[in-house]
Amino acid sequence: MSEKIDLSKFEKKMIIRNIEHRDIDEIINLQENCFKGMEPWKKEQLVSHLDHFPDGQICAEFDGEIIGSCSSLIVNFDEYDDKHTWDDITDEGYITNHNPDGYNLYGIEVMVHPEYRGMKIGNRLYEARKDLARRYNLKSIIIGGRIPNFHKHSEELSPREYVQQVMLHKIYDPVLSFQLMNGFTLMRINPNYLPDDFQSNQYATLMEWNNIDYIGKTKQQYKTAFPVRICVVQYEMRKIDSFEEFAKQVEYYTDVASDAGSDFAVFPEIFTTQLMSFLDEKSPSKAIQRVTEFTEDYIQLFTDLAVRYNVNIIGGSHFVEEEDKIYNIAYLFRRDGTIEKQYKLHITPNERKWWGISRGDKVRVFDTDCGRIAIQICYDIEFPELARIASDQGAKIIFTPFCTEDRQGYLRVRYCAQARAVENQIYTVIAGTVGNLPQTENMDIQYAQSAIFAPSDFEFARDGIVGECSPNLEMVVIGDVDLEVLRRQRQSGTVRQLKDRRHDIYKINYKQ
C-alpha cells in the first residue's frame, strides 16, 4: 500500500501583506527589475513610507519571495492642481504630505516582477488597495498611470488619440488596459508627470476608481480648523522643604492648564532639581544622585495629574539613573495614562563637568490625541538635523523644555526654536525656569522667557509668536496653534520649505 502523499512539498504560498522594514532592499531590487532605465526607490523614501502610512504599503509574497508591490498615500485631491506631477503628489517620493484625514487614496506605484506576470498579481494588489479604501472609508482611489507603449505610436498619434485607441481596445497598453479592466475611469492626461518615464514620453493618465461603499462624513469636505491649546509654565525655582511641596506647585499649574481647556501643559527642563534645595548635599554630582531617587515619585505624580486633570503633560525633564548612568529624560504623560520618554541627545559641557550626564541616541516622535509631537530638550533644539528628522516622521509640534542661567544661553534656545519653526513649517514651544536656588551648587540662577512659535507666513501669528511670557517672572502663557492651517500652508504657503527641499543634492542620514 503506497504512503500518503505529502502535500506540503507541493505548496507554494501566495500572501498579500503589508511591507515591513526588512523588505526594503528586496523592494528596491524588484523595482530595478520592473522598470529598467528608471531611477529606483531610495531606501530613505521607503522608510518614510512606512513611517507615514504603513497600511498603504502592500506587497505580494510568493513562496517567500516578494514578486509585486504597491504604494499609496491619502490626500485631499481637490487641494492639488489637476496638472500635478508625481513629485508634487508624493513630496518627491517621501509622502510626508500624507493626510490621515483626507478623502482619496492616491496610488503612486504598482509593480510585478516580469517573471511572474500573468499570475494576476496586479489584480490582487489592486483588490488590496480597494479593500484599504473601503476600510478607511475613502471616497475614491486615484492613480497617475504610465502609458508605456505610447512611444511606439507617438509619431502618428497624440497622447489623447493613443489613450482613446487603448480604450477602444484597438491598441494594448500593459498599464492603461489593465487599469480600465479594474474599473478605473479616465479623468485627464497629465504631461511631464515622471521625468524619467521615456516610454510614456513623460505623459500619465489620471485615473479614478469610486468607492460605492463610501459614507460621506460631512457635507463640508474640509476641516476649517484643528486647534490645539498649549499652556506653557514658566516655573520659578524657589526653596522648598519636601517633595510634597513640589507636588503641590506642580498640581497648581496643571489645574491652571486644565481650567483653560489646554491640550498640553509644558514644564521646563530639570525643574526637579528644585528638590536639591532640601536635600542638603553640597556636591553637585551627589546631589543629582539624590534627585534620581525621586524618579518613581515624579512619574507617579505626573501620571496621576495627566489623567485626573485630563491634559497631556510634557513633564519638563528629570535626571534618571539607568544601568549606572544618569540621563536627562523628558517624559510625555498622556491624559489616557500612557507614558513616553525622550532622552537628551546632546549634553552641554556644563552637564558633563558638574553632573556626568550620559547621552541618549534616538530621535523619537510620539502620537497623541492632538497629532504627532516631538520633544527636544534645551541644547537639542540647537541642532537643526534633529528637528528635520522629527518633522519627516510627522511631528507637527516640537516641545523644548529648557534651563538656562543667562540671557545669552536663553537666546540660543529661542532663536534656534524660531528657526526650526520656519525651516520645518511646524510649531515650536519653549518652557524655561526662572528664580534662583542660592544654596544649590550649579543651579543658583535662571533666565527665561517661555514662548510658543509658529512659521512665518500670513496665516500665522504676527512675528511668528503665538504667545510669550514676560522675562524672568513666574507665570504661564496659553495659546492656540492650528494644525489644519499648518497642513494647508505646507501645501500652498508663500514658501514651502518642506516641499522645496533639494533631495537630489543633499539629505540627512539618520542612523537608527
Instruction: Return the active site residues.
Output: 269, 344, 378
Cβ-based burial of 122 (10 A; exposed 0-12, middle 13-18, buried ≥19): buried
Q: Could you please report the per-residue DSSP string of 323-388?
A: TTEEEEEEEEE-TTS-EEEEE--S--HHHHHHH-EEP------EEEBTEEEEE--GGGGG-HHHHH
Helical segments of 183-230, H only: none
CA–CA distance, 215 with 202 (Å, rounded to integer): 36
CA–CA distance, 378 with 189 (Å, rounded to integer): 50
8-state DSSP, 346: S
Q: Which helix (DSSP H) or strand (DSSP E) does residue 204 occupy?
A: strand 204-210
8-state DSSP, 182: T
To the nearest 10 degrees (0 to 180), the angle between helices 384-392 and 407-424 is 30
Report how far apart, in Å, the C-alpha atoms of 386 and of each of 81, 320, 420 are: 32, 22, 10
Q: What cell numbers appear for 279 in the block?
A: 536635600
Contact 278, 290 (CB under 8 A): no
Q: Could you please report the per-residue DSSP string of 471-511?
A: TT--EEEEEEEEHHHHHHHHHHSS--TTTT--TTT------
47-63: string of b/e by CB count within 10 Å (b at 16+)? Answer: bbbbbbbeebbbbbbbe
CA–CA distance, 224 with 482 (Å, rounded to integer): 10
CA–CA distance, 237 with 309 (Å, rounded to integer): 23
8-state DSSP, 119: S
Report how far apart, in Å, the C-alpha atoms of 76 and of each of 99, 104, 138, 141, 454 are: 7, 6, 10, 11, 24
8-state DSSP, 25: H
Q: What cell numbers appear for 224 in the block?
A: 476649517
In three-state secondary structure terms, 424 is: helix
Q: Which residues pair with 313 in a beta bridge?
A: 265, 333
CA–CA distance, 380 with 360 (Å, rounded to integer): 11
